[in-house]
């Protein structure tokens, strides 16, 4: 397992939802001169997807080396095939991660873009319309999906580029000459400029060297927490170590608040509900976000630790999927992230301990059964979940 390695002198800008992310992304793509590495879980066939697709094509037609990697499960077979045909005609290099689950059930849940090795985007935002539910394409949301990405400039971009390059290589087959050429490209390091220097780390989860790196980053931050933890996640079903770390922080006087998305998948809600009595008994505040689809995977610990990325706090993300987060050690960035989460908490519904005291035995049993099924599945497919 790799340790979390921080580097100094990075500009890290928080982008809230697609209204901020897609204009910044397209501006970077339209300014690209050398190469683009682009990864996403969902690449939708909607106006937002068309807009990003066209920007990638414009870059390729200018002679930029554009490489796009999508996940087969997230983008789905038909759309991924149609997108590949369009990109092939436009000169965009394109690959699909784990088609037909030939490499097991692992998904590439990462959302990464690196342009000219000078700017990178990492977060939780897929390429789809903020107003449309991402698991029911024609269902309009009550409000735009709540999610985040960070724009990074500085030395950390080189690490993000190398990891994206490695993922591209792992997703397909290249001849030796092509691998040598790509290795030479990875050695080039363009000059970086930094306006607001921040310490940051790029952490990924895979099934090789980084099986627990993202969870390790969380556990270290929770173990050092002194006064507050704010954590927002669409799905809450972490393993025992993660839950214990939250409980231990709360018991030593840290104010721990979980903002959890609900209403998307009933089985996932039931699993999360199975944890509520213990969380509340440990002094953890639980808030359910009901305004719209919560897709953000973000957290702030104390005044200077924050993370933004693709990893949910559940078994799939922490023990099975390919994921990518950026961790930032910076008071300015943490304050910005904290303000966003606190506003979202005001839009949520606090869960009261007394509510569970009056839940009928049948519903309580259904929550427990949902957790047992989920736990069994995770133990079969994800090593380390408990």
List, for residues 91-125, the tens digit of each pLDDT value: 999 999 999 998 888 899 999 999 999 999 999 99
Q: Is residue 314 part of a domain?
A: yes
Domain boundary among 202, 232, 263: 202
Catalytic site residue 297? yes
The catalytic residue among 35, 111, 206, 340 is 111
Do 151 and 238 belong together in one domain? no
The residue segments making up the domain with residue 177 are 7-202
- DSSP run (H or E) holding 24: helix 17-31
Catalytic site residue 111? yes
DSSP 83-137: HHHHHHHHT-EEEEESGGGTT-S--B---EEEETTTEEEEES--BS-TTB-TTST
Q: Is residue 316 part of a domain?
A: yes
Q: Is residue 386 part of a domain?
A: no
The catalytic residue among 11, 71, 129, 302 is 302
Do 94 and 149 belong together in one domain? yes
Cα separation, 291 vs 146, in Å, equals 9
The catalytic residue among 109, 161, 273, 375 is 109
Q: Is residue 212 part of a domain?
A: yes
Domain boundary among 202, 236, 251: 202
What is the tens place of the pLDDT at every residue in 11-42? 999 999 999 999 999 999 999 999 999 999 99
Cα separation, 333 vs 193, in Å, equals 18
Do 245 and 118 belong together in one domain? no
Do 151 and 16 belong together in one domain? yes
pLDDT of residue 145: 97
CB–CB of 384/239 below 8 Å? yes
Hey, which residues does 198 pair with through a beta bridge? 10
Q: Is the pLDDT at 274 greater than 90, yes or no?
A: yes
pLDDT of residue 189: 47
Q: Is the pLDDT at 315 greater than 70, yes or no?
A: yes
Q: Is residue 183 part of a domain?
A: yes
Catalytic site residue 302? yes
Do 324 and 375 belong together in one domain? yes
Domain boundary among 202, 219, 235: 202
Mean per-residue pLDDT for 323-349? 98
Work out how many domains the chain is built from and give that number.
2
Q: Is residue 187 part of a domain?
A: yes
Measured from the Cβ of residue 29, the count of other Cβ atoms closer than 10 Å reads 22
Mean per-residue pLDDT for 254-283? 95
Pairing of strands 112-115, 119-123: antiparallel
The catalytic residue among 11, 71, 269, 297 is 297
């Amino acid at each position: 397992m790799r340790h979390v390695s921080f580097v100094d002198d990075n500009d890290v800008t928080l982008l809230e939802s697609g209204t901020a992310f897609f204009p910044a992304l397209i501006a970077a793509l339209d300014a690209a001169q050398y190469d683009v590495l682009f990864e996403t879980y969902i690449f939708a066939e909607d106006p937002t997807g068309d807009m990003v697709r066209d920007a990638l094509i414009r870059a390729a037609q200018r002679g930029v080396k554009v490489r796009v990697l999508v996940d087969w499960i997230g983008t789905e077979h038909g759309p991924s095939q149609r997108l590949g045909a369009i990109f092939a005609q436009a000169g965009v290099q394109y690959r699909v991660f784990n088609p037909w689950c030939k490499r097991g059930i692992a998904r590439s849940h990462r959302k990464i873009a690196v342009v000219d090795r000078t700017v990178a985007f990492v977060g939780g935002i897929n390429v789809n319309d903020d107003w449309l539910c991402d698991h029911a394409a024609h269902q309009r949301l009550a409000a735009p999906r709540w999610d985040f990405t960070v724009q990074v400039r500085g030395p950390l971009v080189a690490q993000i580029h190398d990891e994206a390059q490695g993922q591209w290589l792992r997703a397909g087959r290249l001849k030796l000459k092509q691998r040598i050429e790509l290795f030479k490209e990875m050695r080039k390091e363009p000059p970086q400029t930094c306006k607001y220097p921040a310490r940051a780390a790029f952490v990924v989860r895979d099934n090789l060297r980084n099986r627990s790196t993202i969870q390790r980053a969380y556990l270290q931050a929770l173990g050092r927490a002194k006064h507050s933890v704010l954590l927002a996640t669409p799905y809450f079903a972490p393993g025992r170590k993660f839950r214990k770390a939250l409980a231990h922080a709360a018991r030593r006087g840290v104010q721990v608040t979980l903002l959890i998305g609900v209403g998307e998948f009933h089985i996932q809600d039931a699993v999360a509900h199975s944890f509520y009595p213990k969380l509340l008994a440990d002094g953890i505040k639980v808030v359910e976000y009901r305004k719209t689809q919560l897709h953000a995977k973000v957290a702030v610990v104390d005044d200077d630790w924050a993370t933004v990325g693709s990893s949910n706090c559940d078994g799939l993300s922490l023990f099975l999927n390919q994921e990518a987060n950026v961790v930032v050690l910076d008071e300015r960035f943490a304050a910005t992230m904290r303000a966003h989460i606190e506003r979202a908490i005001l839009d949520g519904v606090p869960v009261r301990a007394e509510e569970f005291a009056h839940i009928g035995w049948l519903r309580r049993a259904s929550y427990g059964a949902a957790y047992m099924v989920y736990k069994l599945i995770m133990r079969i497919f994800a090593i380390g979940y408990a």
